[in-house]
Structure 1
Amino acid sequence: MKDKDIILKAENISKQYRLGLVGTGTISHDLNRWWNRIRGKEDPYLKVGESNDRSTKGSSEYVWALKDINFEVKRGEVLGIIGKNGAGKSTLLKILSKVTGPTTGEIKTRGRIASLLEVGTGFHGEMTGRENIFLNGAILGMTKKEITAKIDDIIDFSGCQRYIDTPVKRYSSGMTVRLAFAVAAFLEPEILVIDEVLAVGDAEFQKKAIGKMQDISRGEGRTVLFVSHNMAAVKNLCTRGIVLSNGHISFEGRIDDVVEYYLKSNTSEQIYNCFKTEKINYFSKIYLTDQLGNIETKPISKYQKTYLNFEIKTNDISGLRFGATLFSYMNEPIISFPFSEKEFFNKKIKLSF
């Protein structure tokens, strides 16, 4: 890595699995690989395999969980990795954390990596919370003196003071995640890798954890790789993101653009013409149209003139109040406005934005 700002680089990362079996497969396949390797030839099974689409039935017994993944992460950057279940997010993080190796490609990093991939990862159930703090610190390359200097902060942040000298096997999943995150965050790794595990914690801990990650990246200049299905947390924390789809990177860019792409690509078009009304019995139809009167079936873009159309069932509208709220693609209210009885008689109400 020539650029000093780049702390992690993934080059042509691919990961192949054989379905239904443990390990690489049969002895005959392993012998075949060995025979090709000693002759200086390529692994013959790299030429086979299908994309990682969990919802379809394939014809090959080999599947590419990841295929040709390339990206770079700069020091102090918070990278969001999002995608559907089974898209390859956890596999990618395990490779980045060196829990497993890639089938092809190479990961280049500068500095220590701390990972929080699954509840209880790296913890020994028979050891106490305090002992596990020292164990994880040692794995990260910290000295006992360095860990001792931070242990009070770790315990305080985790909120597990009463149970810190109790074996971790008696912890709830939320308590385990609290302690694991505190260890990973306070032992100062250059790269912090976090999978969906924060969702296990309660709202108070999630808020505190996100605040800590912001301090880590912005204040201390360390790098965070964050996987979550909580788009609000991703937008709040990350600066840049990638979208994984069936083992490939389908989109990469600014986090706002990435989240918008992901939500729109995984949302039925019909959702954009759904309306909620408190007095639905007054309306026979509510819909959007463009300038030519064509019904809108796609997400509305910026600066597009759009008309809100409605039909009512009654002629008596005295005392009836009517209003509309415009929502973003993340279902966040953008603007609300009421209409008077006079405006209610109009055939169309124009929304310009």
Structure 2
Amino acid sequence: MKDDVILKVEKLSKQYRLGTVGTGTISHDLNRWWAKIRGKDDPYLKVGESNDRSSKGSSEYVWALKDINFEVKKGEVLGIIGKNGAGKSTLLKILSKVTGPTTGSIKSKGRIASLLEVGTGFHPEMTGRENIFLNGAILGMTKKEIASKLDEIIDFSGCERYVDTPVKRYSSGMKVRLAFAVAAHLEPDILVVDEVLAVGDAEFQKKAIGKMQDISKGDGRTVLFVSHDMGAVKRLCNKCVLLENGTIKTTGETDKIVNEYLSLKTTSKIQLNNFERIKDKELYFNSINIYNKELQSKEAYLYSEDIFIEMNIEAKEHINNSSIFVMVKQKNENRVFAAEKN
């Protein structure tokens, strides 16, 4: 492994058997044992289908990850993006040694801290303060290290008032705040962060992204970041890996990979609500048209596209001090943008 490379993944694959608990049946285990005795490869590595969650397969084995290869340099922030079920969380769990790979190898230098799920490593009956020491110990910190950073961890989490309250009474956002504060102050060589930051509020997300930037740029440490928030990925990451059905579709500069990912996403039709053509009203719409920068009208537009909204309104008489207010929302009622024209 090169001196500037802190993490190297080679031919990494993970296979699961669907519909059962464990790795397989006794007959399968015997077949594996018999193959191993004869010096043969595992016979079940030759079967299995790709990890396409949207289609029904004929095999009971599925490759959650298949032949994953990449390198991460020291101080680099690597974004790992892809649709739900693409294999992002499986990859991070293998890198964090929560589960082992079926085939392949991982070579790393230094300490890895992981923030994979809300409340991972927390005991619900213990207080926030006690869980800081517990979680820090799980992540490899000594008691002296944790004690020296305790005030800083509590202050960063913003949970000072509840730090002596059992964690079972915390909201999911408070648990994430406390867990991230511990992981970030561990000073790991590699910080692995899954989608959990989405649980936090906007103020905490901004603080967490700022802390990860400090970790990578100021301290020269490495961050692996999984998120569906492409804005956060663009702000934080200088390189991205795009996963699709358990394989790496492409890797490269963040802007290029994010745009490729967005072009893969299914875009929904733009719906115009409250569009009335009732001509007996004092004011009504004749037409509403939406164009891209080439003045082409489409049913769907990418997140990154510029759009132009053209409205033709007819009024029976002149209205003083009038203005037009336009709001674009997602299906879940989240506001995308709003604009007003006098």
What is the match of residue 148 of structure 2? 149
- The CA distance in 2 between the partners of 1:183 and 1:269, in whole Å, is 39
Query: Aligned partner of 1:134: which letter?
Result: F
2:267 and 2:300 in contact (8 A); partners too: no
- CA displacement, residues 58-102 of structure 1 (integer Å, 9 cap, x when unaligned): 111001111111111111111111111111110010001000001
Aligned residues: 326
Task: Give how far 1:314 is off.
Answer: 6.9
What is the match of residue 258 of structure 2? 259
Alpha carbons of 1:122 and 1:295: their partners in 2 closer, same or farther (altered >3 Å)?
A: closer
2:13 and 2:66 in contact (8 A); partners too: yes
Alignment of 1:64 onto 2:63: yes
What is the match of residue 85 of structure 2? 86
Task: Give how far 1:167 is off.
Answer: 2.3
Alignment of 1:52 onto 2:51: yes
Query: SS in structure 2 opposite 1:241?
Result: strand
- CA displacement, residues 286-328 of structure 1 (integer Å, 9 cap, x when unaligned): 365999x99778979xxxxxxx89796979999999999xxxx
Alpha carbons of 1:241 and 1:277: their partners in 2 closer, same or farther (altered >3 Å)?
A: farther
Q: Which sections of structure 1, spanning at least 5 residues, go unmatched?
A: 301-307, 325-330, 339-353
Task: Give how far 1:169 is off.
Answer: 2.1
1:140 and 1:189 in contact (8 A); partners too: no
1:50 and 1:58 in contact (8 A); partners too: yes
Alignment of 1:134 onto 2:129: no
Q: Which segment is superposed worse, 311-320 or 13-22?
A: 311-320
Q: What are the residue-to-residue correspondences of 1:306-325 with 2, within 5 Å?
A: none
2:121 and 2:138 in contact (8 A); partners too: no
- The CA distance in 2 between the partners of 1:237 and 1:214, in whole Å, is 7
Alpha carbons of 1:310 and 1:164: their partners in 2 closer, same or farther (altered >3 Å)?
A: closer
What is the match of residue 112 of structure 2? 113
2:289 and 2:297 in contact (8 A); partners too: no
- The CA distance in 2 between the partners of 1:165 and 1:13, in whole Å, is 42
Q: Identity of counterpart residues, as a percentage? A: 69
- CA displacement, residues 95-147 of structure 1 (integer Å, 9 cap, x when unaligned): 01000001111111101111110011112223222222222222333222222
Alpha carbons of 1:36 and 1:255: their partners in 2 closer, same or farther (altered >3 Å)?
A: same
What is the match of residue 200 of structure 2? 201
Query: SS in structure 1 opposite 2:228?
Result: coil
Q: What are the residue-to-residue correspondences of 1:114-263 with 2, within 5 Å?
A: 114-263=113-262
Alpha carbons of 1:83 and 1:322: their partners in 2 closer, same or farther (altered >3 Å)?
A: same
Task: Give how far 1:168 is off.
Answer: 1.9
Q: What are the residue-to-residue correspondences of 1:269-308 with 2, within 5 Å?
A: 282-284=285-287, 286=289
Alpha carbons of 1:144 and 1:277: their partners in 2 closer, same or farther (altered >3 Å)?
A: same
- The CA distance in 2 between the partners of 1:82 and 1:173, in whole Å, is 23
- The CA distance in 2 between the partners of 1:226 and 1:138, in whole Å, is 23
Q: CA RMSD in A?
A: 3.4
Alpha carbons of 1:323 and 1:247: their partners in 2 closer, same or farther (altered >3 Å)?
A: same
- CA displacement, residues 226-272 of structure 1 (integer Å, 9 cap, x when unaligned): 1111111111111111111111111211111111111111133966x
Q: Which segment is superposed worse, 166-175 or 242-251?
A: 166-175
Query: SS in structure 2 opposite 1:70?
Result: strand
- The CA distance in 2 between the partners of 1:309 and 1:286, in whole Å, is 6
What is the match of residue 25 of structure 1? 24
**TM-score, normalised via structure 2 length:** 0.83
- The CA distance in 2 between the partners of 1:134 and 1:56, in whole Å, is 45
Query: Aligned partner of 1:128: which letter?
Result: T
- The CA distance in 2 between the partners of 1:75 and 1:318, in whole Å, is 65
2:227 and 2:233 in contact (8 A); partners too: yes
- The CA distance in 2 between the partners of 1:162 and 1:276, in whole Å, is 45
- CA displacement, residues 33-73 of structure 1 (integer Å, 9 cap, x when unaligned): 11101111011111111111111111110011111111111
What is the match of residue 349 of structure 1? none
Alpha carbons of 1:98 and 1:311: their partners in 2 closer, same or farther (altered >3 Å)?
A: closer
- The CA distance in 2 between the partners of 1:20 and 1:298, in whole Å, is 38
